[in-house]
Structure 1
Amino acid sequence: SRVFDPLTSALTNFTEFRYFSIAGGRILSLMKEPEMKGERQSPAAGDIVFEHVSFAYQDKEVLHDITVTLPKNSLTALVGPSGSGKSTVMKLCARFYDPQQGHLFFNGVPMDEIAPESLMSHISMVFQDVCLFQDTIRNNIRFGKTDAMDEEIIAAAKKACCHDFIMRLPQGYDTMVGEGGCTLSGGEKQRISIARAMLKDAQIILLDEATASLDPENEVEIQKAIDTLIKGRTVIAIAHRLKTIKKADRIIVLDNGQIKEEGTHDELIRQEGLYSHLWNIQESISGWKL
């Protein structure tokens, strides 16, 4: 009888022990990763240039010899089938990774010479999957600029079309957000993320299809907020709904890790290539009715 209880407890907790073991292994492998080098301060926002860049996750190469310029003060859209390398291009722009081959330049300066923290001071990101912290809405927005005054936070929230729904919450801006933002809807989390980006006021905006999984009402509100966010800035956007980037200054079409086409919407339609094919598919689907 003395053996039974400890044995039962050990068997019950065996699964948790395995979780702890896996988590510990991941922490140790992360600590063994080499530190990203870079000591130079980031220059003023400018063009982002890829020169013969190739990148692989472990043994799987996802970008093959990419050479392209993403010009400042313009909207550049990345489109293409799933797995074509769009998100990887964006992650390299933010220097989440360094390429295995080739070079990236930020306003003429090699990106691997720039301190990552300095580079990130010029960049704001709005992703499809938003992560909020278990804190107040005020502090979640303030994360974009830690020394921001309350007036600045409210102004950013109004521009992001989220002030009204925040004021309807029990404690307004002091309402606690559940872990990961679980107490808010997808559209509400998205607008708080945009408010955070507006408060940071960075010159480079990375948008990873912020409206892809939203209902029409939220999509309209978020599109208004995004239109305000990107004015006068360098914007790189991943687009699945091609109508949202029809007016982009430049559209880059990726497929199998390579650039297949470049140009404006009208130019790519006339080429009758991959972009035209994707556009025609979406246009035909939009006409379906039940």
Structure 2
Amino acid sequence: MSGKHQYKTISLFTAGVITTISITLVLFLLGLTFLVGFTAKGISSYLKENMGISIELAESIDEASIAKIQKGLNANPYVKSVIYISKDEAKKQLVEDLGRDPEEVLGYNPAHAYFDVFIKSDYVNSDSINKVEASLKAQSLQGATIVNNIVYNEKDIINANSKLSLIGSILIILAVILVFISFTLIRSIIQLNIYSKRFLINTMQLVGATNSFIRRPFMWRMILSGILAAILANLAITGVVYYVTNIMPETLSIVTMYELLIVYGLVLVFGIFIAAFATAFAVNRYLRMTTNKLYHA
């Protein structure tokens, strides 16, 4: 007798663990989708502001004027940051890229000193970038032209904007699909758990128990599983965020605590809602069955 009781306890425990793990995995994926969706603007800004414009400096510019030019560039409202690359540094990069010193072949150093100018995300679009280019070309020092050439890829900027819009649409579709899949999966798992209790449900109906009374213990049990799954999913999401920000510290500005808390809250709400709704749906299936149909369920 005790052996049978132990077997039953282990089975129920195993079923509960499997259900909780399944809900956790679904909520984890759903939470990551929410997180990417909430941080989409930050990710977009980060990608755009890392698309630099290279300003090749005129040969007549001496090292003493570099600081003044850099200060002037930083004063523009569309500029986020400016990095100066000296002629020697540019040559080293050429040697790395080509695998040999181009000066040995050409007889002179073809590299030029230049500034990498990173533009604020609001200006990285096809309408504003041409105005930015014209403004940069007009930069001067004591009336002398300082810009020899400006290099950037306008197609990359246009493609970046269109692809980011496409990613946003895909995320919305993905979130809807995940919610549907999660409900279907969790409902199936819960239905399997309740299957062994279908005769108990029928017996309770025969002795006069109301549907809400029969449904309540199943609902509470699964809501607790949903809460536990949400906590585990949020811990996993926190681990992913911690890992990403550790290997890429610059992404700390993308993921804010406020957005992270919203994601935690949504995961918890969805965990409770999906578990409760799926349980009610599964229990109702057996509540509507007659005694004869229970043997063929």
Normalised by the length of structure 2, the TM-score is 0.19
Normalised by the length of structure 1, the TM-score is 0.20
Higher RCO (C-alpha under 8 Å, 6+ residues apart): 2
From the two aligned structures, give the one with the greater helix fraction.
Answer: 2
Q: Larger Rg: 1 or 2?
A: 2
From the two aligned structures, give the one with the greater strand fraction.
Answer: 1
